[in-house]
Structure 1
């Protein structure tokens, strides 16, 4: 009996030691993010020629419904229930926070265009799940966030582990390659008459690319290993990306080459000036939801 106990203890110690290895954690996060991707982007490969955009109704909303519950992070949305509520009230309903956003008590939760007198605010709020922290189930961007965080920690001066950062980039590369030709669900939902009934904000392809690469590029610019891996990622994606998804990849590659040239004491390539980025100072919505000023 004592031998069995010792063997079980040794196995337990070995299992724990293996489970906290960086590569095991990164692989698990990548697997969870891929499962979320398959659930949230189920249409498969498509022939889209442009990103899905939604024209919001003209004018200011007639009603803004604030969050009435506890503060927390938006982790799940029942879009069908929201659509049903909007159809029954014959209004256009827009969800304000994006998946993964923190929702303070009393902050705007929904915007309404039309007569919202018949709208049941309680039913709307029941269609949302607010939790203390983000989860990856409906929030694919959270998988990206975790991978980027691990890469950043690995590249911090106190750790200086570019190999782990590259392993995180490997997982980001796999996710982006799966997404690059994927159809992104449109933010708008319409009824059978074609009337706009609901708008749910979603991350764009560009915002996923920025989330995956901006911070890693900044933290890893002094590492030849990381810079080389990022260049390989971008060159590979440019080989398979449709035309309407190449611009952000080209911008990222130009930024990478410019920083590398500066570190070598050389003049940055003039390709950087020809790559159009987000308008200077214009707010943009990241894959993590919150409107953020452009950093480039």
Structure 2
């Protein structure tokens, strides 16, 4: 069966995470940046204020003792509440891991409200201590009270109060299973539109077969983890410049170990578009490195290009709810409803072609996306296995599959019928 190849315009919506996104992905980065900014402000504001030597209206008007007392109180209060915020975060992470699934911890750690709250509380503590050292009075030779800096410390306290309220709201929402399931579903629905568009490809119809020539293997090197993303646009440009074809042999989300083959390349030894030969080993290695760098490998799976991971998260929540220790089939029903939301538009669309062509309609990258049949099996099989004896779960799965059969393309009907026959009637 032939399918229309994907062009660069078709894959531009499948964007890899930017450098800033990758840099700010760890939980500690944003709090660290905010803390450093507060220390810098605590050094700069008093220095500028003393250099200007102007009286500013509507600011702190107390003396050195009052400034020291206020800053000391703020610093001690902030470090205490910072410990409270950190403790609440740890409790929520433990609750999410035990009640939902460890796979959702990445969702909780990625929440900017929690990161910003921890950063501002820590930053206010450091800012107050930094400003405190610039207060001079009593027996000091040149008494000085940084009035603007002290006032800013009070403004930071107000910001901390507002962020603490937002943090409490975020925490109370994030431990509700309906909210967690809905958030995963929102991300999955966006991934469906990006990875399985209604028009899967605007290139020529083709069926790709591996060339008969010898291929060169690309390896993961010293990296290990999951294949989190592929920069298709960069890979197509590199392959076109080398007049090569790249087939990625691992799927998004698959585990990659050190020195594992991840792709094979044809055409590197045949030259580039200018006609020059790749006689220089270093030049060939630079092309191979550029192609390998377009493959993102990380310890945690990412959801932007990994629809399978989002479905896996939902299925794991349902399995945990159906376990004998929890026995909460209603949560499994909520998960099935969200899976229904994801699968309904999916079954009406074609699986995109693995071929990605350049501007000259020459195949440059080949990477197979998960088939709709495999996603359907992932969504149904395990929930049916663990919830087969429940009164609600089989009935709800039947209702979902019946509705999917109305929306599905003809070639998917056998797969849907197969699952309808496997699910017990209640």
Partner of 2:247: 94
Q: Does 1:25 align with 2:180?
A: yes
Partner of 2:194: 39
In 2, the alpha carbon distance for the partners of 1:236 and 1:183 equals 18
Cα displacement (A) at 1:234: 0.5
Cα displacement (A) at 1:152: 0.5
Cα displacement (A) at 1:192: 5.2
In 2, the alpha carbon distance for the partners of 1:11 and 1:57 equals 55
Match of 1:114 among 267, 279, 288: 267
Partner of 2:100: none
The answer to whether the Cα contact below 8 Å between 1:45 and 1:181 also exists between their aligned partners in 2 is no
3-state DSSP class of the match of 2:236? helix
Q: Does 1:157 align with 2:324?
A: yes
Q: Structure 1 unaligned segments of length 5 or more: list them.
A: 265-296
In 1, the alpha carbon distance for the partners of 2:290 and 2:162 equals 55
Q: Deviations over 1:182-214 (max 9, x none)?
A: 243211123455543221121011011011111
> Matches of residues 1-296 of structure 1 in structure 2 within 5 Å?
16-41=171-196, 43-44=197-198, 54-59=207-212, 61-116=214-269, 118=278, 119=284, 120-191=287-358, 194-256=361-423, 260=424
- How many residue pairs get aligned? The number is 252
The answer to whether the Cα contact below 8 Å between 2:348 and 2:408 also exists between their aligned partners in 1 is yes
Q: Deviations over 1:16-71 (max 9, x none)?
A: 33320111110111111112222223x32689xxxx99533154752111111421
Question: TM-score, normalised on structure 1?
Answer: 0.76
In 1, the alpha carbon distance for the partners of 2:419 and 2:239 equals 40
The answer to whether the Cα contact below 8 Å between 1:53 and 1:187 also exists between their aligned partners in 2 is no
Q: Deviations over 1:165-188 (max 9, x none)?
A: 010010001100021112432111
In 2, the alpha carbon distance for the partners of 1:45 and 1:65 equals 31
Give the number of the structure whose residues are more often helix, by fraction: 2
In 1, the alpha carbon distance for the partners of 2:163 and 2:259 equals 52
In 1, the alpha carbon distance for the partners of 2:363 and 2:161 equals 65
In 2, the alpha carbon distance for the partners of 1:116 and 1:96 equals 20
Cα displacement (A) at 1:97: 1.1
In 2, the alpha carbon distance for the partners of 1:182 and 1:63 equals 34
In 1, the alpha carbon distance for the partners of 2:290 and 2:165 equals 53
In 1, the alpha carbon distance for the partners of 2:356 and 2:170 equals 47
Partner of 1:280: none
Radius of gyration: which is bigger? 2
3-state DSSP class of the match of 2:218? strand
Partner of 1:290: none
Indicate how the Cα distance of structure 1 residues 56 and 13 shifts in structure 2: closer, same or farther if over 3 A, else same: same
Indicate how the Cα distance of structure 1 residues 9 and 185 shifts in structure 2: closer, same or farther if over 3 A, else same: closer
Partner of 2:39: none
